[in-house]
Each structure stands twice: as C-alpha cells, then as structure tokens.
Chain A
Amino acid sequence: MSFGNVVGALVPLNTLGRYVHWHFIQISVANLIVIALMVLTFVVALVAPFPGRRRRRENR
C-alpha cells in the first residue's frame, strides 16, 4: 500500500517489517543490520592496513 511509485527499487523493502525480540529489547532487522555494519566498519577501519604509507619514516 505504498503511495509513491516504487519504480527503480530492485529489492523494495515495503513489506511488513521483521523484528528481533530479546527480553525487553525490540529492534528491526534493518536497524540491527545498520548498527552491526557500523560496528564492523569501525573495527575494519582500525585494523585494515592503510595503503601507501609503508615506507614512510618519521624524523624525530
């Protein structure tokens, strides 16, 4: 019952939302994925090697 045209959406997400219930916590699967990706991105940004800086030396 979407009111705009969903032309262009290959995987339209306007089906009834899926939710995770854990004790008093309720979170949509979509939000959970976003938050998990945020944490994952943060960790990868910390540990992934940064390119092009291997041979640098600092003058002290």
Chain B
Amino acid sequence: MSDVERQWTTRLRRRAVAALPPDKLLPDTQPSYVASWIYVFGVTTMSALAVVIASGCLLALRGPQWWHTSSVGHFVNSLHLWSVEIFFFAMVVHLWGKYFMAAWRGGRSLTWVTGVVTFLTSVGAAFTGYVSQTNFDSQWISTQAKDGINATGAGAYFNVLNTGQMLMWHIVLLPLAAVLLTAIHVLLVRVKGVVPPFDERAGAPAVTNHDANDANDTNDEKVVDA
C-alpha cells in the first residue's frame, strides 16, 4: 500500500464513494414500482423542515420577543407555526405509508429506527419552542410539563422553567440533532434504496437478499423506459 493509499483521507473517501457512489446519492432513475402519491410525504416533511428552519432564522434576526410587538414579526411567527403543523402532518402520513409498505425489509431496519428517533427529536424541538414563546402559552405549558419531567429525575438538569435554557435547546441543540438525524435517515434511504414490493408469486423467490442493494442497483442493470 502506498503512502497515499494509507492516508485516513483517502481511505475515508474510498469508503464513502463505495457506500454512496454519485449515482446513488443523486439518482436520475428509480425502480418502476415507485409510483404512488404516498411517496411524496418524505420530501414534503423535509421541505416543511426547511421552511421551519428558514422562518425560525427570520425570528432569530430580531430576538425572542420581537414577534410580540411587530406585525411583521407576528406574521413570521405564523409562518413558523404553520410550517411546524405541516411538518408533523407530513411526517405522520409518511410514517403510516412506510409502515404499510413494511419499508424496513431487506436490511432497512436502521432507516426505520432513525426515522422514529427523528420524530421524537422533533417532538422535543416543538415542545421547547412552545415553552420559549414568552407568552401565556409558555407559562402554562412549562409549569405543567415540569411535573412530568421532574418526576423522571430529568428536571434537575432539563429545567423547563428556565426560559433561556429552553430557548437554547430550541434554537441550537434540537434543530441540530433533527437536521443531522434527517441527513442520516435520507443517506440510509439512498444507500439501501426504496424497498421493493412484496413478492406475491407462489413459492420462495430465487434470490433471498438480506443486503438489499438492488433497488437502486448499478446502472448497467437498469432498464429505463422513458
């Protein structure tokens, strides 16, 4: 092995390209069974996440209390609220769809697990947003939620009555986690491909594939009907 080949950088790049060659990362074809409106709810969820983050960034420009006193700020807050509603709406429909496709088959269980963890992180991100609003809602929600969180012992460190702490979790830690998890989730989908339909023909399939790299298989196997 040459010096260059031994380098960490070279080895990392080789592994990354092997796992996700460019035509898998940004595919220009997809298996022909992907033909249903149910497939649009993943990308809808991510689009809503983008709008949530963009409207949150606009709110951040003028600080946490701006939206109470400015009609422009209040409108940006409305964008933030409704994009969050669309985000959860689309994510739940996406989850139902993936469940009924049994989309974990063929070595895709980690994709399912990361999806569930992303959902949980999003619930936490939304919750910290509700308690960071600095209005009646945040007063009531925080004083109620403290009992639930304190009962687990976590309240000693995650103090929902500490508005500054909640705001930090809401605008830094949880969005970062949600975006990272989403990225991992999407990369796993790209690596493993979209789950193929159940095989309903009599008898077991000729190939039992546990690694499931087929769905977006190499280009030379593809037959594209335009």
Answer whether residue A16 sits at the interface, using C-beta atoms and an 8 A cutoff. Answer: no
B35–A53 CB distance below 8 A: yes
For window 57-92 of B, CB contacts with A under 8 Å fall at: 67-71, 73-75, 77-78, 85, 89, 92
Chain B residues whose CB sits within 8 angstroms of the CB of A32 once the complex forms: none
B73–A4 CB distance below 8 A: yes
B135–A38 CB distance below 8 A: no
Chain A residues whose CB sits within 8 angstroms of the CB of B75 once the complex forms: 7-8
Q: How far is the CA of A50 from the CA of B34 in the complex (A)?
A: 10
Contacts A4-B73, A7-B75, A57-B225 given: A42-B135 contact, CB under 8 Å?
Answer: no
The SS class assigned to the B binding surface is helix
Out of A8, A42, A44, which one reaches B78, CB within 8 Å?
Answer: A8
B36–A5 CB distance below 8 A: no
User: Interface 1/0s, chain B 27-71, versus A by CB < 8 A?
Assistant: 000001101111011000000000000000000000000011111
Residue of A nearest to B95 (CB): A42
A59–B37 CB distance below 8 A: no
Chain B residues bordering chain A, tally (CB within 8 A) = 27
A-B contact count (CB 8 A): 59
Out of B68, B69, B77, B96, which one reaches A42, CB within 8 Å?
Answer: B96
B89–A37 CB distance below 8 A: yes
A43 to chain B, nearest CB (A): 10
Contacts A53-B35, A56-B225, A57-B225 given: A45-B70 contact, CB under 8 Å?
Answer: no
Q: How far is the CA of A50 from the CA of B225 in the complex (A)?
A: 17
Out of A5, A44, A48, A58, which one reaches B74, CB within 8 Å?
Answer: A5
Q: How far is the CA of A53 from the CA of B225 in the complex (A)?
A: 10
Contacts A38-B92, A42-B93 given: A8-B37 contact, CB under 8 Å?
Answer: no
Out of B33, B38, B74, which one reaches A46, CB within 8 Å?
Answer: B38
Residues of B within 8 A of A (CB): 32-33, 35-38, 40-41, 67-71, 73-75, 77-78, 85, 89, 92-93, 96-97, 135, 223, 225
Residues of A within 8 A of B (CB): 3-9, 34, 37-38, 41-42, 44-46, 48, 50, 53, 55-59
User: Could you give 7 example pairs across A and B, Cβ below 8 Å?
Assistant: A4-B70, A8-B71, A38-B92, A42-B93, A45-B40, A50-B36, A56-B225
